[in-house]
């Protein structure tokens, strides 16, 4: 689809779109003087910079400073595409690094409004190495537990996409924006243009949401509330998310293993969407595994409860979870851990996807990484098993020592049918096998697997 005209707004128009009447205070790094025609002595470079400055009113391709989006203070940096295609040179690197350091010193989130064609040809390798400066500055911000949000405009390509854009914790895109590492002049002539656009990058799990310009301020404001450091007037973040039972069915535990499995597989029982809708007043989905994959059967993101407390969520939707789903889960858990946000996981899967495609996509490694993310989490992780808990594909999302189960769930080393097959039993013995597996909610509490039955 064609780019939204607003995606080609100037750097200051993009800032104003986000801050509105709240205002923006510009900052500038200490001045630096380049040699005549830049570090390479590229004939005509000084004249090109002067023309770009006269045309845009800017001294460089990036503007940065502090502002307020919604009710949250943040550091904003915005690219001016009209200034030599928003390209990165040495002075651009000074401004980018200074913006990250400003966020670090003031402990504020960083919001990047990106529109760039990449590194500046007239400065050669000096320009390209600015990407290393950006990566180092971003790493320092990440280590300090401060969030980075990128809004990618039209176009966002080259090193700017591969650092400031794709390197952010949350990536939002304006509709129709050109987004990709390869710009239009350097990609293969027969390349599918969809792959290089905001919508195509969303489909590939590289962008979390495509947001129309008119919705951008509200969306970014909610993300800042969910991810940003706690404001002085706010209550401390709660120690752990506690599932609310309002959408749960009446109490009454299954009498047999077979009944437990049947109840977990019943079409009418509440699913992840119902639990999340009941628990959160605002949900902000994260999308994709950043490796080119998505799994519609696994929901991840951050949410705000009615009391304003942020909680990250990872929720299975009753389908076999694919490698992309596990990678998205690990990404979400690690981000929440870095930002000090508790995590809620909802377990509901017959097991991990086991087809050939899943194996080629690295199912084992993806599951292992999810186990590791939960094991390493310093924030509280709370798990509620809401349906099927099938084998390691379910256990990978379960918090050791803090797992709870509903009355219409089961958790088992493997589902009863494959268990009977492994034991070379007839299909008629599946029910008896389910009883032997002790997979009912009450069995799980007695075995110490679950802390409680939520009714």
- Asked, as a colleague might, if the bond just before 176 is cis with ω within 30 of 0, I would say no
User: How distant, in Å, are the alpha carbons of 281, 332, 357 from that of 335?
Assistant: 21, 5, 28
C-alpha dihedral sign at 197, 198, 203, 207: positive
Distance CA 169, CA 17 (A): 21
Distance CA 84, CA 91 (A): 13
- Matching residue, tokens 């176009």: 155
- Matching residue, tokens 């299909």: 427
Find, among 124, 152, 35, 133, the residue nearest to 92 by Cα. Answer: 133
- What is the Cα 216 distance to its own chain's centre? 17
Could you list the mean pLDDT of each consecutive 10-residue stretch along the chain, which spans 455 residues?
A: 66 95 90 92 96 96 96 96 95 97 97 95 95 97 96 94 95 96 82 90 95 96 88 59 49 87 92 94 95 94 94 96 97 96 96 94 96 96 95 95 94 86 84 88 94 88
Q: What is the pTM of this model?
A: 0.92
Give the pLDDT score at 246: 42
The runs of H, that is alpha helices, within 155-314 are 158-160, 198-203, 213-227, 257-265, 272-279
Give ∠ CA 10-16-20 in degrees, rounded to 5. Answer: 160
Report whether 178 contacts 157 (CB < 8 A). yes
């Amino acid at each position: 689809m064609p780019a939204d005209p607003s995606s080609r707004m100037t750097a200051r128009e993009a800032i104003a779109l986000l801050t509105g009447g709240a205002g923006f205070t510009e900052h500038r790094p200490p001045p630096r003087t380049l040699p005549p025609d830049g570090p390479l002595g590229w004939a005509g470079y000084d004249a090109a910079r002067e023309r770009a400055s006269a045309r845009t009113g800017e001294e460089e391709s990036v503007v940065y400073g502090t502002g307020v989006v919604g009710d949250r203070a943040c550091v904003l940096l915005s690219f001016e595409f009209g200034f030599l295609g928003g390209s990165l040179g040495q002075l651009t690197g000074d401004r980018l690094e200074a913006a990250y350091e400003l966020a670090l010193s003031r402990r504020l989130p960083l919001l990047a409004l990106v529109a760039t064609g990449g590194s500046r040809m007239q400065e050669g390798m000096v320009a390209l190495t600015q990407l290393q400066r950006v990566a180092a500055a971003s790493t320092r911000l990440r280590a300090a537990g401060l969030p980075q949000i990128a809004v990618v405009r039209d176009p966002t390509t080259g090193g700017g996409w591969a650092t400031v854009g794709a390197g952010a914790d949350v990536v939002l895109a304006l509709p129709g924006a050109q987004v990709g590492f390869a710009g239009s002049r350097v990609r293969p002539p027969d390349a599918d243009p969809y792959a290089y656009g905001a919508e195509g990058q969303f489909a590939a799990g590289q962008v979390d949401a495509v947001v129309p310009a008119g919705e951008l301020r509200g969306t970014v404001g909610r993300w800042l509330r969910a991810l940003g450091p706690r404001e002085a007037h706010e209550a401390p973040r709660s120690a752990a998310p506690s599932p609310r039972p309002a959408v749960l069915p009446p109490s009454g535990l299954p009498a047999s293993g077979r009944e437990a499995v049947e109840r977990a597989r019943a079409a009418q029982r509440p699913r992840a969407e119902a639990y999340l809708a009941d628990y959160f007043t605002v949900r902000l989905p994260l999308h994709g595994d950043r490796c080119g994959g998505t799994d519609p059967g696994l929901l991840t993101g951050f949410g705000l409860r009615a009391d304003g407390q942020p909680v990250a969520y990872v929720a299975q939707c009753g389908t076999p979870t694919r490698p992309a789903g596990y990678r998205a889960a690990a990404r979400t858990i690690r981000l929440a851990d870095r930002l000090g946000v508790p995590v809620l996981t909802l377990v509901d899967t017959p097991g991990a996807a086991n087809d050939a495609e899943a194996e080629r996509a690295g199912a084992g490694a993806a599951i292992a990484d999810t186990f590791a993310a939960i094991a390493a989490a310093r924030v509280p992780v709370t798990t509620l098993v809401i349906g099927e808990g099938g084998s390691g594909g379910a256990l990978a999302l379960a918090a050791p020592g803090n797992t709870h189960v509903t009355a219409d769930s089961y958790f088992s080393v493997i589902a009863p049918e494959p268990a009977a097959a492994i034991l070379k039993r007839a299909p008629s013995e599946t029910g008896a096998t389910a009883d032997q597996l002790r997979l009912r909610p009450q069995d799980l509490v007695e075995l110490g697997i679950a802390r409680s039955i939520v009714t």
